[in-house]
Amino acid sequence: MFSFSVALLLLCATPLPTTAVALPFAQKGFMDLGKRIDVEGLMMMMMNDEEDGSADGEHYKPDYFKPEQPTCPFGCQCNQKVVQCSDLGLFYVPHDIPRETRLLDLQSNQITEIREDDFKGLSNLYTLVLVNNKISRVHPRALMPLKMMHKLYFSHNQLTAVPRNLPSSLVELRIHDNHIKRVAAGAFSGLRNMNCIEMGRNPIQNSGLEPGAFDGLKLSFLRISEAKLTGIPKDLPEGLHELHLDGNQIQAIEQGDLNQYDGLYRLGLGYNQIRHIEHGSLYYLQNLRELHLENNRINNVPGGLAGMKYLQVVYLHSNNISHVDVNDFCPEGFGVKKTYYNGISLFDNPINYWEVEPATFRCVSNGMAIQFGNHKK
Ligand SMILES: *[C@@H]1O[C@H](CO)[C@@H](O)[C@H](O)[C@H]1NC(C)=O
């Protein structure tokens, strides 16, 4: 079994079940186990966050079997500051949620709309899970009371726009698998420092990302996979460490496409229609650790990999590469490579492998790190 790994700071990631990890080259949405959010995982993360930072001194011990507190909404389970109301067939957010609630789980209900006062008074709420409902409308003022909110999970709904007036405390937003076509200028205004935005599987075209959509936002992780992008978007947020654009219809990487993103550690461009990577277009990615270009239509190993000092993992399988040059991956002469590769995948390309010189892989940690061969994906 073949799987590469790079030790990276995986912001907003959570351990996946081992079966998902063991699948080679599977790129799964973090914590996206089907359409469910793992609430126990969230509680653990919340506790960790609190230990790290704004601890309020009180440690809650999840205990689902305690009698319900008097203020718990009908049918929900309330424990300490966690209110779980998933899978109840609810059409609206219940009105009697305790004010001290830190985590509110409303996933897998029938909610179609978030009304203006649905979250009134919930100024302590840290995590809100609305995944897998039928929400198409969020009142523009509905999120304003949520002054402490860090994590907002809206995936698998019917939103057509990013909810308005996101709380400035937000660090993680998931709006994966909705109907969003357009991200308006200023959609994230008021937000400064975020870890993660997951907005894949929305019908977003390049023209749908309005100029200024991300103005003022600093962000580490952005995923717009399985959308309708035909090129690498311009003016994405500042400070990106991870950018995942796999499963789009991107045709080429052109000069200037990546100049703004020189802080990237990981770049995911697999499962696109890339035929052409303009020479020098990867030049600015001097910090890159991991590059995914599998399942495209590339004819050559992209220029510039040998100059990336920290590059450790390159996925190039299932392309149309027929030739690998001895200097495609490793620097010549006095060029410096600070970390050796621990994964290069080249299988399912029309390469005559016996023509590839062994010295091509002189800066690879060991022979197991190269996936050659003729296996199909
Ligand atoms: C693969 O590359 C060859 C040239 O090396 C070209 O003739 C052929 O059309 C390419 N195939 C595809 C599917 O792009």
Q: List average pLDDT for each run of 10 residues in the chain, which is 377 residues long.
A: 47 43 40 68 72 48 50 91 96 94 97 97 97 97 96 97 96 97 93 94 97 94 98 93 98 94 97 96 95 97 95 97 95 87 94 90 86 60
**What total of structural domains would you count in the chain?**
2
The residue contributing the CA closest to ligand 1 atom 8 is: 320
Q: Is residue 188 part of a domain?
A: no
Q: Is the CB of 207 under 6 A from ligand 1?
A: no
Residue 66 has a pLDDT of 52
Dihedral angle of Cα 95, 101, 107, 113, to the nearest 10 degrees: 40
Q: Is residue 202 part of a domain?
A: no
Residue 252 has a pLDDT of 97
Q: Please give the residue range of the domain that contains residue 319.
A: 1-30+213-377
Q: Which atom of ligand 1 is nearest to the CA of 275?
A: 14
pTM of the model: 0.85
Residue 70 has a pLDDT of 57
Q: Are residues 50 and 70 in the same domain?
A: yes
Tell whether the torsion through CA atoms of 24, 25, 30 and 33 is positive or negative.
negative
Alpha carbon distance 207, 47 (integer Å): 40
CA–CA distances in Å: residue 293 to residues 53, 100, 185, 197: 38, 46, 30, 22
Q: Ligand 1: distance of its center to the CA of 266 in Å? A: 28
The residue contributing the CA closest to ligand 1 atom 10 is: 320
The residue contributing the CA closest to ligand 1 atom 9 is: 320
Q: Is the CB of 297 under 6 A from ligand 1?
A: yes
Alpha carbon distance 300, 322 (integer Å): 7
- Asked which of 179, 200, 230 is the last residue of a domain, the reply is 179
Tokens 């079940």 -> residue: 17
Residue 366 has a pLDDT of 82
How far the first Cα of the chain sits from its last, in Å, is 13
> Best mutation site among 297, 299, 323 for ligand 1, i.e. most ligand atoms within 8 A of its Cβ?
299
Residue 43 has a pLDDT of 75
- CATH number of the structural domain spanning residue 309: 3.80.10.10
Residue 22 has a pLDDT of 33
The residue contributing the CA closest to ligand 1 atom 4 is: 299
Phi then psi dihedrals of residue 243, to 5 deg: -135, 120
Residues 6+ positions from 283 with CB-CB distance below 8 Å: 304, 307
Burial 342-367 (b: 16+ CB within 10 A, else e): bbbbbbbbebeeeebeeebbebbeee
